[in-house]
């Protein structure tokens, strides 16, 4: 595919940047937990020391972007207040308090006397991070990268270029002070570079996109480097017939309105026909009082849903106070609908029937499948991971909310004393395969 | 990329086949361990019952392929003797004795009272398998797929088409008899179909190529579906200066000649300059008596290596009794050479200096890094996995030799009783994040 990409070859200059990030990431990857924690502390200190410069730079970005007519929601994402920056700096220190993901022994096995196999976690190498607007994303991802011993090439939105540069200067100052892996973090500034980044499969081991669905989808379709993330988040809630209506309504509401722009908010509500009338009779006024626009199939329109949902609604991520509603004959029809339209992020069922719940959980193959709770729980922090690198809707692991463990891989170490395969092939020796304590 | 692939869109007929394999794989994925074991037993029985038909079909394939001028090594791979078939059938039963990879709880955590998070292994869905010649590969992969609850679309070499068809008839007979996931295994017959397979990312979750480096590379470059495997296996052995020469020679020999066509055999030997003369003086006659052709850099040629190794040799997988030799100043130069030319499969160091060994192990980022043993140990069976799905040289897990766990993913289950995120956002409730027994 590399031959017929729609993205340009990386420039020699970009390749140089990637090579030196790779070089620096090797020493960072071999640093001790203590060194990496010190690096994060120094990064936080440097951000503190340079807070005024960073905020000044952010004001420049805001003024320029406003002149250039950047829309309000993007401007608010771009804005870095003193409080927001303080929060980011606290975040860096929190990351340093997370358990070290590196050097974890996952497997420890004797293959034969004095022939010992180990599987140990190691950093991935270099991350490629592409994020829009939010300068706080730069601080967060950079600290996660350093925590996990990875270098990173980071490309932010051009609207935030002054802020990002000021932040990166502080981060590198911190790394240099801690004297571990200085140069492992590098800021890309041009769109040309962020496209070239997608072709750096020799140097970049994982791409982390932070931005619109369009951005993520473009990246997924234009790189051979693994991408950690998801495009659409089309989540479903199915309300079964054996149900506590109030519980169902409150879960549906929370799943939709608690943060409508989130990927784990529901877009479609599936309702069992037996209780549809009761549910909507009680639910419609509540949804409307909460400002939720409902779009329904023919059956639900007959039960009072004002707007019509057409075929395209079932695969639409509204990211807004809009909810499509479909009435189904039973759990099987709900499962079929989900298989057809879900983005395999998170789906939930509300039912008091445990059998039906377990059928739903075993039949729906999304990263998260929930019973009697809000889909909004799909989040690395709520899962207790301490950090969230991203939420993956891929089938292969890491899947769902991904913490620091998504930024590491493993390596097999085998230590012997002159051991040869021919002796095992001949039968002179045989494998013991005794697991040893981790 | 899907828009500018060099491979054709799948035919509507192929899509139908994929859809029904997907459909059948869902019931297979929900079957119990007992059911899947029964299925494997029935598959083995059916292969036994139809052994004569299978062997007859194989004779047809052999005769036709011989007429068509298929070369000797491919003919021998194509041939399925009674003994070989017997071995395959035993293999199916062995696979049914492997631990069930499905339904393993990897995480069990209380987020709050009565809000319980689980992470449980589940099948991937449908595997796409492309293998050359060897009909035994069909039996092996099919049994691994069923063991792990996955469906599979399998495309064998056209030279083996009669044998593969006879085998597949038996396998499906077995599945039908066990009445679990009949139709989950499907044989593709045309090259057109195997190309179309690469575009079925909606139905196929993992591609497993079994064949030449060229085949694997073509697949890796022409599909967005994850590929489990590796193209080149360019493995290195570095002989340090503080070394037991006899140990070093025997490890070098085993790593090269025990099975030269294997991906984990070494292609390049790196020797510390201080002991190069001693090593070669003793080693050259041994290598030549074993029929190994050595190709050396200038320094090693000066020490008696007959043939010249040019730049291209450092990135060549000979798959033969040929070994390139380079003399290096120290372990650092060895590590640099490996970083530049390795396919990141398996590398080894021979040294009595533990410090140097640990430096090598921590600095070389290949799937396997060994100390004082043969690179030929890089193998799922030798690691004690009971089966080997493939060996991956990707950075992300699964990496290195991959057993059944490479054919599963996981799903998060969250069970509550009306739990809402807004209550945690407001501070009315807070996460306990208590890990429960697995």
A2 vs B84: which has the higher pLDDT: B84
The strand pairing partners of A412, in sequence order, are: A119, B368
The strand pairing partners of A266, in sequence order, are: A235
The whole-angstrom distance between B47's CA and the closest CA on chain A is 28
The whole-angstrom distance between A52's CA and the closest CA on chain B is 31
**Residue A129: phi, psi to the nearest 5?**
-115, 125
Per-residue pLDDT averaged across A283-309, rounded? 98
Q: Is the pLDDT of residue A161 over 90?
A: yes
Q: Which residue has the tokens 């089309």?
A: A234
Per-residue 3-state assignment (H helix, E strand, C coil) for chain A = CHHHCCCCCCCHHHHHHHHHHHHHHHHHHCCCHHHHHHHHHHHHHHHHHCHHHHHHHHHHHHHHHHHCCCCHHHHHHHCCCHHHHHHHHHHHHHHHHCCCCCCCEEEEEEEECCEEEEEEEEECCEEEEEECCCHHHHHHHHHHHHHCCCEEEEECCHHHHHHHHHHHHHHHHHHHHHCCCCCCEEEECCHHHHHHHCCCCCCCCEEEEECCHHHHHHHHHCCCCCECCCCCCCEEEEECCCCCHHHHHHHHHHHHHCCCCCCCCEEEEEEEHHHHHHHHHHHHHHHHHCCCEEEECHHHHHCCCCEECCHHHHHCCCCCCEEEEEEECCHHHHHHHHHHHCCCCEEEEECCCHHHHHHHHHHCCCCEEEEEECHHHCCCCCCCCCCCCEEECCCCCCCEEECHHHHEEEEEEEEEEEECHHHHHCCCCCCCCEECCC
A 294-333: CB under 8 A from B = none
Residue A132 is predicted with a pLDDT of 82
Per-residue pLDDT averaged across B393-408, rounded? 94
Q: Is the pLDDT of residue A2 over 50?
A: no
The CA distance from B192 to B288, in Å, is: 46
Test mutation, A105, A416, A425, chain B, max B CBs within 10 A: A416
> Which residues neighbour B92 within 8 Å (Cβ) at sequence distance 6 or greater?
B40, B43, B44, B47, B139, B143
The strand pairing partners of A187, in sequence order, are: A154
Nearest CA in chain A to B217: A1
Residues A258 and A289 sit within 8 Å (Cβ to Cβ): no
Residue B4 is predicted with a pLDDT of 40
Number of H helices, E strands in chain B: 15, 17
* Mean of all residue pLDDT scores within chain B: 94
Structural domain spans, chain B = 12-221, 235-382
pLDDT band at B8 (very low <50, low <70, confident <90, very high): confident
Q: Is the pLDDT of residue B265 over 90?
A: yes
The whole-angstrom distance between B338's CA and the closest CA on chain A is 14
Residues A207 and A309 sit within 8 Å (Cβ to Cβ): no
**Residue B26: phi, psi to the nearest 5?**
-65, -45
pLDDT band at B6 (very low <50, low <70, confident <90, very high): low
Nearest CA in chain B to A408: B396
The CA distance from A157 to A77, in Å, is: 11
pTM: 0.93
**Residue B43: phi, psi to the nearest 5?**
-65, -45
Residue A8 is predicted with a pLDDT of 81
Mode of pairing for the β-strands spanning B115-123 and B105-112: antiparallel
CATH superfamily for A235-382 is Aldehyde Dehydrogenase; Chain A, domain 2 (3.40.309.10)
The CA distance from B145 to B142, in Å, is: 5
Write out pLDDT tens, residues A392-426: 999 999 999 999 999 999 999 999 999 999 999 99
Q: Does B113 touch chain A (CB under 8 A)?
A: no
Test mutation, A203, A359, A374, A424, chain B, max B CBs within 10 A: A374
The CA distance from B284 to B323, in Å, is: 12
Q: Is the pLDDT of residue B92 over 90?
A: yes
Nearest CA in chain A to B111: A383
Residues of A in contact with B206 (CB under 8 A): 395-396
**CA-closest candidate to residue A114, choices A435, A413, A418, A427:** A418
ipTM value: 0.93
A 338-367: CB under 8 A from B = 357, 361-363, 365-367
Q: In Å, what is the CA distance from B361 to each residue of A106, B238, B364, B371?
A: 17, 12, 6, 8
A 14-43: CB under 8 A from B = 26, 30
Residues of B in contact with A124 (CB under 8 A): 395-396
Q: Residue B217 corresponds to which tokens in the numbers above?
A: 């590379």
Q: Is the pLDDT of residue B73 over 90?
A: no
Residues A240 and A356 sit within 8 Å (Cβ to Cβ): yes
Reported for B293-296, long-range contacts at CB under 8 A and 24+ positions apart, including other chains, are B293/B321, B293/B322, B293/B323, B294/B322, B294/B323, B294/B324, B294/B325, B295/B322, B295/B323, B295/B324, B295/B325, B296/B324, B296/B325, B296/B326, B296/B327
Q: Residue A123 corresponds to which tokens in the numbers above?
A: 């950093």
pLDDT band at A6 (very low <50, low <70, confident <90, very high): low
Q: Is the pLDDT of residue A53 over 50?
A: yes
Residues of B in contact with A357 (CB under 8 A): 415
Per-residue pLDDT averaged across B10-30, rounded? 94
Residues A366 and A346 sit within 8 Å (Cβ to Cβ): yes
Per-residue pLDDT averaged across B200-218, rounded? 91
Cβ of A420 and B5 within 8 Å? no
Cβ of A411 and B399 within 8 Å? yes
DSSP state, B375? G
Cβ of A372 and B396 within 8 Å? no
Q: Which of A124, A250, A382 sits opposite B418 (nearest CB)?
A: A250
Q: Residue A286 corresponds to which tokens in the numbers above?
A: 């509540």
> Residue B281, Cβ neighbours under 10 Å: how many?
12
Write out pLDDT tens, residues B410-436: 999 999 999 999 999 999 999 999 999
Cβ of A422 and B258 within 8 Å? yes
Q: In Å, what is the CA distance from A247 to each residue of A300, A351, A362, B182, B431?
A: 20, 9, 22, 40, 20
pLDDT band at B113 (very low <50, low <70, confident <90, very high): very high
Q: Is the pLDDT of residue A4 over 60?
A: no
A 367-426: CB under 8 A from B = 367-374, 376-378, 382-384, 394-397, 399-401, 409-422, 424-425
Q: Is the pLDDT of residue B185 over 60?
A: yes
Q: Is the pLDDT of residue B347 over 50?
A: yes
**Residue A106: phi, psi to the nearest 5?**
-95, -20
**Residue A120: phi, psi to the nearest 5?**
-125, 140
Test mutation, B414, B424, B431, B432, chain A, max A CBs within 10 A: B414
Order of strands, sheet of B322-328, starting from the edge strand that comes earlier in the sequence: A434-435, A105-112, A115-123, A408-419, B368-373, B346-350, B235-239, B266-272, B322-328, B293-296, B307-308
Q: Is the pLDDT of residue B15 over 90?
A: yes
Residues B51 and B155 sit within 8 Å (Cβ to Cβ): no
Q: Is the pLDDT of residue A249 over 80?
A: yes
**CA-closest candidate to residue A230, choices A219, A244, A238, A239:** A219
The CA distance from A334 to A326, in Å, is: 9
pLDDT band at A1 (very low <50, low <70, confident <90, very high): very low
The CA distance from A106 to A101, in Å, is: 11
The whole-angstrom distance between B29's CA and the closest CA on chain A is 9
Q: Is the pLDDT of residue A3 over 50?
A: no
Is residue B369 helix, strand or coil? strand
Per-residue pLDDT averaged across A366-371, rounded? 98
Residues of B in contact with A412 (CB under 8 A): 367-369, 378, 383, 400-401
Q: Is the pLDDT of residue A389 over 60?
A: yes
- State which H helix or E strand residue B240 sits in: none
> Which residues neighbour B426 within 8 Å (Cβ) at sequence distance 6 or greater?
none
The whole-angstrom distance between B231's CA and the closest CA on chain A is 15
Do A12-221 and A235-382 have matching folds?
no
The CA distance from B148 to B132, in Å, is: 23
**CA-closest candidate to residue A267, choices A358, A351, A337:** A337
Nearest CA in chain B to A357: B415
The CA distance from B301 to B294, in Å, is: 10
Cβ of B411 and A124 within 8 Å? no
Residue A232 is predicted with a pLDDT of 84
Is residue B112 helix, strand or coil? strand
Nearest CA in chain A to B420: A374
Q: Is the pLDDT of residue B1 over 80?
A: no
Cβ of B416 and A367 within 8 Å? no
The whole-angstrom distance between A67's CA and the closest CA on chain B is 36
The CA distance from A44 to A52, in Å, is: 14
Q: Residue A212 corresponds to which tokens in the numbers above?
A: 């619109």
**Residue B236: phi, psi to the nearest 5?**
-120, 150
Of A39-48, A130-139, A282-291, give the lowest mean pLDDT range. A130-139
**Residue A281: phi, psi to the nearest 5?**
-55, -45
User: Percentage of residues in chain A with pLDDT exceeding 90?
Assistant: 86
Q: Is the pLDDT of residue B133 over 80?
A: no
Per-residue pLDDT averaged across B31-52, rounded? 96
CATH superfamily for A12-221 is Aldehyde Dehydrogenase; Chain A, domain 1 (3.40.605.10)
Residues B226 and A396 sit within 8 Å (Cβ to Cβ): yes
Q: Which of A206, A368, A374 sits opposite B421 (nearest CB)?
A: A374
Residue B132 is predicted with a pLDDT of 82
- State which H helix or E strand residue B325 sits in: strand B322-328
Write out pLDDT tens, residues B348-390: 999 999 999 999 999 999 999 999 999 999 999 999 999 899 9
Per-residue pLDDT averaged across B5-26, rounded? 89
Residue B210 is predicted with a pLDDT of 87
Per-residue 3-state assignment (H helix, E strand, C coil) for B167-211 = HHHHHHHHHHHHCCCCCCEEEECCHHHHHHHCCCCCCCCEEEEEC
The strand pairing partners of A151, in sequence order, are: A126
Q: Which of B125, B259, B419 sits opposite A374 (nearest CB)?
A: B419
pLDDT band at A111 (very low <50, low <70, confident <90, very high): very high
The whole-angstrom distance between B48's CA and the closest CA on chain A is 28
């Amino acid at each position: 595919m590399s031959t017929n990409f729609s993205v340009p070859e990386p420039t020699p200059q970009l390749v140089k940047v990637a090579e030196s990030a790779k070089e620096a990431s090797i020493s960072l990857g071999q640093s001790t937990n203590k060194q990496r924690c010190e690096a994060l502390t120094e990064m936080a200190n440097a951000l503190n020391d340079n807070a005024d410069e960073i905020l000044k730079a952010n004001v420049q970005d805001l003024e320029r972007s406003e002149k250039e007519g950047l829309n309000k929601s993007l401007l608010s994402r771009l804005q870095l207040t003193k409080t927001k920056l303080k929060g980011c700096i606290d975040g860096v220190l929190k990351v340093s308090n997370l358990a070290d993901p590196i050097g974890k022994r996952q497997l420890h096995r004797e293959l034969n006397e004095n022939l010992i196999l180990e599987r140990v976690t190691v950093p991935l190498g270099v991350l490629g991070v592409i994020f829009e607007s939010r300068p706080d994303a730069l601080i967060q991802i950079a600290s996660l990268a350093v925590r996990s011993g990875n270098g990173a090439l980071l490309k932010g939105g051009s609207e935030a270029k002054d802020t990002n540069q000021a932040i990166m200067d502080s981060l590198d100052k911190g790394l240099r002070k801690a004297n571990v892996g200085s140069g492992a973090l590098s800021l890309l500034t041009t769109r040309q570079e962020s496209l070239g980044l997608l072709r750096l499969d020799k140097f970049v081991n994982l791409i982390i996109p932070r931005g619109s669905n369009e951005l993520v989808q473009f990246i997924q379709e234009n790189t051979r480097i693994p991408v950690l993330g998801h495009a659409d988040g089309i989540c479903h809630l199915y309300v079964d017939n054996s149900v506590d209506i109030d519980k169902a309504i409150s879960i549906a509401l929370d799943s939709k309105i608690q943060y409508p722009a989130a990927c784990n908010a529901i877009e479609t509500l599936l309702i069992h026909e037996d209780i549809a009338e009761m549910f909507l009779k009680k639910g419609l006024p509540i949804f409307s009082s909460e400002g939720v626009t409902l779009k329904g199939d023919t059956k639900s329109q007959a039960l009072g849903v004002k707007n019509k949902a057409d075929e395209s609604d079932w695969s639409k991520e509204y990211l807004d106070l809009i909810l499509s509603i479909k009435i189904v004959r039973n759990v099987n029809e709900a499962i079929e609908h989900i298989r057809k339209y879900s983005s395999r992020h998170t789906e939930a069922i509300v039912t008091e029937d445990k059998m039906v719940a377990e059928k739903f959980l075993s039949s729906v193959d999304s990263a998260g499948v929930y019973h009697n709770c809000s889909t909004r729980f799909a989040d690395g922090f709520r899962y207790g991971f301490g950090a969230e690198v991203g939420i993956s809707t891929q089938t292969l692991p890491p899947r769902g909310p991904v913490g620091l463990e998504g930024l590491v891989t493993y390596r097999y170490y085998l230590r012997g004393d002159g051991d040869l395969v021919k002796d095992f092939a001949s039968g002179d020796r045989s494998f013991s395969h005794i697991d040893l304590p981790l």
